[in-house]
Amino acid sequence: MRRKITSDLAWAALFAIIGGLVTIGFSGDKPQAVAIAWIAVALVVIVPAALNFPTRFFGQLMPPVWRVATATFHEAWRRRFLNGILIFAVLIIMSSWVLAYLQPGAELKMLIDIGLGSCRFFGLLIAVFLGTRLIADEIERRTIYTLLAKPVSRAQFLFGKFLGGYATVFANVAVMGIAFYAVFAIKAPQFREIDPEKGATTYSMDFMYANIAKAIGLTFVELAVLVAIAVAASTVFSWIFASIFSFFVYFVGQMSDFFRQLSDPDHGASRVAQILLGTIYRVLPHFEIFDIREAILKDQAVFWPVLTKHGLQGLLYVVIIMLIGYLCFNEREV
Amino acid sequence: MSAAGRCLHIALAIETKNLTKTYGEDSDGNPVGLADLTLDVEEGQIFGLVGPNGSGKTTTLKLLLGLIYPTSGSALVLGQPIGDPAYKERIGFVPEGPYFYDHLNAVELLAFYGGLFGLSGKELSNRTQELLELVGMWSRRDIRVRNYSRGMLQRVGLAQALLNDPDLIFMDEPTSGLDPTAQMQIRDVILSLRERGKTVFLCSHLLKEMEPICAGIAILNRGRVVTTGTMTSVLAGDEGLFRLEAEAVDAAVAAKIEGLAGSMTNSGGVFEARFATQKDAAKAAEILADGEAIITHLGPDRRSLEQAFIEAVKGEQ
């Protein structure tokens, strides 16, 4: 019974967060309206959650995948390193309350850099270290034997592990995002009012609230790609090498635009550079598309078609990477 | 109907043909793994697979469960090719020293595995209670797996394997680490499965346990089957002879029997003799009893599984 209530509350919270972020994305600079909408969404989702709707719906739609995913999610929350990262991340985000004052005149920038940067950085750590352990631990602890002896195909197992791992990363980053948004909602108006004559810069905040919600949303997409890379890599490599590989792909993927420029013949790239760097540019996921910090700081509108395009691009990356992961895992002996 | 004709109508739960899995070669150049395994396991039979460590028992199980892929050869499990998720609806697997998600308790664990078979609600909870009672874990259902003893793990391992009421159950050392009472309970469960027409594929080192319950047997050594057949055929000794075994037999008493026995040994406190007729064997037993010897066996000349195993393995070395 206790587990059911906890599960329902978790679902309610999850829907509330998603609903809240979407609402903020549409609301622009209207925090009160956002708060009301958020509460409304939370109330509306409690009803289906109380009826255990997601478990009923997804459980019937794809039972093995759903079972593996929920077991992975519940188990992941018991990993101490993950709890440690979450606590540390929230503390860092909360400390931006004070740390922002270290750069007079750029407090708002500090607040955003620390908050969003923490969500992305700690999300990255959780995605990679959790993602690469999901399959490895099943094999190491031999729990995979009883699981694959049941009517669970390798594709269902792999997809379930990915979904459970991603749900964990999502929930962790959502907690960080809420902490950041809370600090931002309280402190940002104060920094905006600092007198420019004393050296501080004023910011226009027409799009900032919405942009921050959009940035967190894009971080969720970015982390889905990363979890997919980590899970797929762990089907081939040991978890340590898979972690190194995932970080490498992430950091090189952040510089994909740089590779595009280097491989551009108009910039004097040689034939070899065109082929080599051009291939890197085309093959690796373009992680820089998920970073909209510049637009936030310049308070420029980030339009939904652009966001949708980046979201779909992220989804496509996930599908391709998981297909590669499946092909590798299908050949693997456990 | 001819013998061959009758064989065609026997339903096979497991059928392997030259199933081979090679992991490389040992220092003598012999392939390591499993070589040319050809087995037929009839439906409704308890079939035992025995062999020394590293003989290929676990490799065989992993191949049949689709956890690893064969280098060559083929196998059908319940009529389906190995690895096909379709037959996994109808099988159960009790691994050796089972490993489970250790944050769950017995009920949660069975709920998780039951969900994989599409069981839910009242059906799942009834089945869970029934199985946990069967393996003696119902009173300890709230204890987390991480706090289980090896015996408790084995019991829950058996319960999860029976959730879907399987037609074929694979068991890898199911009584390993259990106390004698629990071993007997597990053996009773295995026998009750046979009575219900289920097929049990049993891998074990405990030969004395296998002997009375297995109808078919295969002895593996260094990845090859050295003996296979029905238990009766594998254990058969010299046709029509009777064997008498005893302890503490005085040399003078043994001398009185010499004329009756076809062959006789009496060394190291163990007396063993073979007789052409049951009448001679009974007469000899009477002489031994009068001489205050302890009779340990009197019956048709049949090897124990342990003897058959040792002879088969020695013959290969």
Q: How many domains does chain B have?
A: 2
- Closest-CA distance, A63 to chain B, in angstroms, reads 6
Flag if B113 and A74 touch (Cβ within 8 Å). Answer: no
Question: At which of B235, B258, B290 does a domain end?
Answer: B235
Could you tell me if B120 and B196 lie in one domain? yes
pLDDT of residue A325: 93
The pLDDT confidence band at residue B5, using thresholds 50, 70 and 90, is very low
CA distances to A326, B195, B201 from B9, in Å? 40, 21, 21
Locate all alpha helices (DSSP H) within A100-142, ordered by sequence. 107-140
- Tell me which residue range forms the domain holding B270: 242-301
pLDDT of residue A250: 95
Could you tell me if B191 and B295 lie in one domain? no
Could you tell me if B219 and B195 lie in one domain? yes
Pick from A59-73, A145-159, B73-87: least confident: A59-73
Could you tell me if B65 and B157 lie in one domain? yes
pLDDT of residue B2: 45
Flag if B160 and A146 touch (Cβ within 8 Å). Answer: yes
- Is residue B310 a part of any domain in this protein? no
Enter the tokens of residue A219.
Answer: 């971080």
pLDDT of residue A12: 62
What is the spatial distance between Cα A83 and Cα A68, in angstroms, rounded to a whole number?
Answer: 21
Could you tell me if B156 and B272 lie in one domain? no
* Mean pLDDT value of segment B38-54: 92
Most confident by average pLDDT, A287-291, A296-300, A309-313, B162-166:
B162-166
pLDDT of residue B6: 47
The upper half-sphere exposure of residue B308, i.e. CA atoms within 13 Å in the direction of its Cβ, equals 27
CA distances to B160, B187, B215, B299 from B212, in Å? 25, 10, 8, 16
Nearest to B85 among A59, A151, A333 (CB): A151
Residues of B in contact with A153 (CB under 8 A): 85
- Cβ atoms A190, A283 nearer than 8 A: no
Domain residue spans of chain A: 1-61, 62-331
Pick from A252-256, B105-109, B304-308: least confident: B304-308
pLDDT of residue A2: 47
Could you tell me if B134 and B248 lie in one domain? no
Q: A4, A150, A168: which to substitute to probe chain B, counting the most B Cβ within 10 Å?
A: A150
Q: Answer with the residue of higher pLDDT: A188 or A33.
A: A188
Q: pLDDT over 90 for what percent of chain A?
A: 44
Degrees to nearest 5, angle at CA B195 with B189 and B201: 65
- Closest-CA distance, B185 to chain A, in angstroms, reads 22
CATH number of the domain where residue B263 is located: 3.30.70
Could you tell me if B157 and B285 lie in one domain? no
* A 141-170 near B (Cβ less than 8 A): 141-153
Q: pLDDT over 70 for what percent of chain A?
A: 77
Is this prediction's ipTM beyond 0.90?
Answer: no
Q: How far apart are the first and last CA of chain A?
A: 36
B84 to chain A, any CB pair closer than 8 A? The answer is: no
Most confident by average pLDDT, A13-27, A44-58, B107-121:
B107-121
| DSSP at B90 | T
- Closest-CA distance, B59 to chain A, in angstroms, reads 11
